[in-house]
Amino acid sequence: MRPSFFHHLHPPSIPARQSRFRYTLGAGGYSVFLILVLLFSGALLMFYYIPTPAEAGPSIQMITFLVPFGALVRNLHYWSAQILVVVAAIHMLRVIFTGAYSPPRRFNYLLGLSLFVLSLFLDFTGYVLRWDEGVRWALVAGTNLVHSIPTIGPGLYRILMGGAQPGPATLTRFYSWHIFGLVVILLGIGVWHIFRVRRDGGIAVPPPEQRQTPERISRFELVRREGLAALIGIAVLLLVAAFIPAPLAPPMSEVTIQVADSKAPWFFLWVQQLLKSGDAFWMGVFVPLAVLLFLGSLPYLLTAIRSDELGRWFPPSGRLAQILVLALVLAILGLTIIAALPPPA
Amino acid sequence: MKKAILAASIFLVIALLVVIWQATHLPRPIALTPTLTGAEEFCLTCHNDLPEISPSHPIETFGCVLCHGGERLALDADLAHATMRGGRNPSDLGVAELSCGGSDCHTGSSELQRDHVGRVLTSLQTTYAGAIASIRFTYGAQSSLPAQMAIEAVQALHPPAGPNDFRPQRLAAFDPQAESHAFIQAFGHNCLTCHLRAEPLPGPDYARLTGCAACHTPTAGRDLNQPVHQLTTVIPYTQCNTCHNRGNYDLRQMSFVPRPDAPTDRLHDYYQPITQFTRCEYELDCLDCHTRTEAMGDGYLYNDQAEQQYVQCKTCHGDLESPPLTRTIRNEADIALRMAYLNPQIPLQIGDTIVVTEKGEPIWNLRQLADGSFEMIAKVTQVRYPVPLVIGSTCTQNPDQQESRYCHACHAVER
């Protein structure tokens, strides 16, 4: 069989053992799949969404209640975005817990980390596009964090918001970032990330006993597996989108008619919880940046994984990194759960 | 692998069928584009069974959202209702200016008396100023009787009418918690149930809404949990009765003591004990004699009910020396025609001579007939009543005693 365009997007063959689901968890592939769903559903939403403060809310209601399959497309977009954050995080943890960040993959690890941050930014900007009472708190509190940065904060805030407070310019800027700026950067770095996977020797280095005569699978098999995963993925997404609606609240108004939902989006709940215990800049900006810096410096500061331990989960020479990251994950999960619990009566 | 792909394909087909089934079983949206807003709304998808609220507010013209607010495009009940003004009652005085007001509607020109919302806010039925002043004066919180406070702070719509106009220009908000006397606090806690901002007491005898709808939506005796989608100017006495004649204030306990019965026979058990009243007062409806500014205010703030409510027996019956004041309707702009248009059971027309009050307000259902006699057509029941005049009668009333209480001395009905 002659390889098609889609086959040619893949390497001719890859090590069989390193392409198994139990090793990769399919997380990188599913991230690409979800981004494709997001691009497609987002493009459809752009035909109806109107990015002005007066029309944003009504246009989303139009999509949700009146456009045929509009709710389905919006729910697909929403749930793909939420699941992408989870799947990308799982992908990152897989890389850390298998030591796959070791040289020569250190730089690609950084590319991946930046993709994760970009997906959070995309999620947050998309969340703000609802421009309804449910996002008011997150918009005000989130952007005030930028304001709290010493020296550059106020200037950065104006650049981000297009003014001294949230207004029409803010929505235009968030929209532009969401549908263009961040997407272009994400696609550029994403392609670079995938290129570097191939350049760095495929998904991962096989374990030592497999390195001489590795068992390999062809690109045909790989594309079949991806097709199978995509079939299951789209079916699950369709069912989720059909039965669990994306959140929607009354449009943001000058006068707050009802008590606005004062919760951050779920992926920033841990930051919201931190903010309760200290200064906005230190807890809301410095700590998240420090977490990012810590994750980014892992492959550079800690000893590289021993070559004979690569290709397996939890290589012993990466123990310190594994423990530190596990502690970080548990801390973030714990803070998220505390923040998500209803306040004591 | 082929089997796995086949199974996954079947799973996907099932998911697609579920999605299509769901999309084809959604309620079909019912669109309405009211001519006043030009903005499509979908409230009728669920509320298609509601009767039109009044002939003056046709749904094709007004739609729902103009008055009620709410999310016009949302088909999810919680979201659609989240931004409704005043919940189920957009005429609550907290939001009436937004719902019923506006310069094209009921906050129009004061010369044409189209400033209803503003006037109602100054009315004693809203301010409750007389009761508050009386209690505060009694317990030493203010040194004189004129009103100083209202349920909410309010300013008169008009400047003083002259140097002898002592009506208040503004009233401060009454805050029972800020009062030092326990009885005034108790009054604030127990007795503020009958003004237009107050939620009614429970029970069908008190069944009224707040704001404009307290009078204009006939709820008396109905279950307030069921929607009452009606506005009318034909207001029966039973609606007034959801506040008035419902009990007594106990000044020892500083509480309101509701009467235990539900009055059905107007002659025998409508009024309070010791009240004196005449046939007019138990056969007519309140609005047959009492005018719109008595009920809804005229933009001035009044100290008490006796100041705002000025219609007396003589308004319709005249006195020993003269018949009642009258006006002949000369053109279509006469407000009496507008009022009769809203209650079209009374065939008022240009050329008719009607009784007017001393302030010039039309008692537009009381006409002078060709033979010079007067006839009232009751606004609610359409019963025709010949109205006898004092002049030319055997009445021996003192010309200086023209208030109704003096008429009651002879004409009160004995129960």
- Asked if pLDDT for residue B269 goes beyond 90, the answer is no
Nearest-CA distance from B66 to chain A in Å?
16
Q: Do B73 and A232 make contact, defined as CB atoms within 8 angstroms?
A: no
Angle between helices A70-97 and A219-243 (to 10 degrees): 130
Structural tokens at position A281: 């800049």
Q: Do B5 and A239 make contact, defined as CB atoms within 8 angstroms?
A: no
- Residue that wins the pLDDT comparison between B269 and A155: A155
pLDDT of residue B415: 63
Residue with tokens 């030493």: B140
Interatomic CA distance for residues B292 and A203, integer angstroms: 84
pLDDT of residue B258: 86
Residue with tokens 């016009």: B72
A68–chain B Cβ distance below 8 A for any pair: yes
Interatomic CA distance for residues A167 and B8, integer angstroms: 47
pLDDT tens over chain A, length 345 residues: 789 999 998 888 888 888 888 888 999 999 999 999 999 999 999 999 999 999 999 999 999 999 999 999 999 999 999 999 999 999 999 999 999 999 889 999 999 999 999 999 999 999 999 999 888 888 988 889 999 999 999 999 999 999 888 899 999 999 999 999 999 999 999 999 999 998 888 888 888 887 887 788 999 999 999 999 999 999 999 999 999 999 999 998 876 555 556 788 899 999 999 998 889 899 999 999 999 999 999 999 988 888 888 888 999 999 999 999 999 999 999 999 999 988 776
Interatomic CA distance for residues A193 and B179, integer angstroms: 72
> Residue B390 belongs to what H/E stretch?
none
Residue with tokens 């809804």: B296
Q: Give A-chain residues touching B4 at CB under 8 angstroms.
A: 228
Interatomic CA distance for residues A228 and A236, integer angstroms: 12
Answer yes or no: are the C-beta atoms of B247 and B260 closer than 8 Å: no
Dihedral sign, CA of A236, A239, A242, A245? Answer: negative
Q: Do B74 and A61 make contact, defined as CB atoms within 8 angstroms?
A: yes
pLDDT of residue A300: 92
B9–chain A Cβ distance below 8 A for any pair: yes
pLDDT of residue A329: 97
Residue with tokens 């207004």: A167
Structural tokens at position B338: 């507008």
Report the residue of chain A nearest B29, measured CA to CA: A66
CB pairs under 8 A between A and B: 79
Interatomic CA distance for residues A23 and A205, integer angstroms: 12
Answer yes or no: are the C-beta atoms of B324 and B315 closer than 8 Å: yes
Nearest-CA distance from A261 to chain B in Å?
13
Interatomic CA distance for residues B204 and B258, integer angstroms: 13
- pLDDT band at residue B413 under the 50/70/90 scheme: confident
Q: Do B16 and A258 make contact, defined as CB atoms within 8 angstroms?
A: no
pLDDT of residue B113: 82
Give whole-number Cα distances, A13 to A18, A21, A213, A216, in Å.
11, 16, 13, 6
Report the residue of chain A nearest B11, measured CA to CA: A235
Structural tokens at position B407: 């008429």
B14–chain A Cβ distance below 8 A for any pair: yes
Give whole-number Cα distances, A36 to A29, A40, A64, B323, in Å.
11, 6, 21, 89
Q: Do B73 and A234 make contact, defined as CB atoms within 8 angstroms?
A: no
Structural tokens at position A270: 């841990």
pLDDT of residue B304: 93
> Residue B280 belongs to what H/E stretch?
helix B279-283
Number of Cβ within a 10 Å radius of residue B240: 19
pLDDT of residue A201: 81
A242–chain B Cβ distance below 8 A for any pair: yes
Backbone torsion region of residue B211, taken as left when φ is above 0, otherwise alpha when ψ lies between -120 and 50, otherwise beta: left
The alpha-helical segments, DSSP class H, found in A68-163 are: 70-97, 106-129, 133-147, 153-161
- Asked if pLDDT for residue B177 goes beyond 60, the answer is yes
Structural tokens at position A140: 């005000």
State the maximum Cα–Cα separation within chain B, in Å, rounded to a whole number. 113
Interatomic CA distance for residues A132 and B72, integer angstroms: 15
Going by the DSSP 8-state scheme, the letter that residue A165 receives in this structure is S
Least confident span in A253-262, A289-298, B125-134, B216-225: A253-262
A240–chain B Cβ distance below 8 A for any pair: no
pLDDT of residue A345: 65
User: What pTM did the predictor assign?
Assistant: 0.86
Q: Do B15 and A239 make contact, defined as CB atoms within 8 angstroms?
A: yes
One-character DSSP codes across B188-218? HHHS--SSTTSPPPSSGGG---STTHHHHS-
Structural tokens at position B346: 């009374």
Which among A231, A236, A248 has the least Cβ separation from residue B79?
Answer: A248
B16–chain A Cβ distance below 8 A for any pair: yes
B76–chain A Cβ distance below 8 A for any pair: yes
Which one of A65, A75, A257 would you mutate to disrupt binding with B, by most B Cβ within 10 Å of its Cβ? A65
Interatomic CA distance for residues B232 and B213, integer angstroms: 9
Report the residue of chain A nearest B27, measured CA to CA: A65
Nearest-CA distance from B12 to chain A in Å?
5
Which residues face B256 on adjacent strands? Answer: B249
pLDDT over 70, % of chain B: 100
> Residue B354 belongs to what H/E stretch?
strand B353-356
pLDDT of residue A310: 87
A342–chain B Cβ distance below 8 A for any pair: no
Answer yes or no: are the C-beta atoms of B377 and B364 closer than 8 Å: no
How many residues can be counted in chain B?
Answer: 415
Q: Do A224 and B8 make contact, defined as CB atoms within 8 angstroms?
A: no
First to last CA, chain A: 67
Which among B23, B73, B82 has the least Cβ separation from residue A68?
Answer: B23
B12–chain A Cβ distance below 8 A for any pair: yes
Interatomic CA distance for residues A33 and A31, integer angstroms: 5
Q: Do B11 and A235 make contact, defined as CB atoms within 8 angstroms?
A: yes
- Asked if pLDDT for residue B15 goes beyond 80, the answer is yes
- CB-based contacts of B177: which residues, under 8 Å, 6+ apart? B185, B188
The alpha-helical segments, DSSP class H, found in A47-69 are: 53-65
Interatomic CA distance for residues A241 and B67, integer angstroms: 35
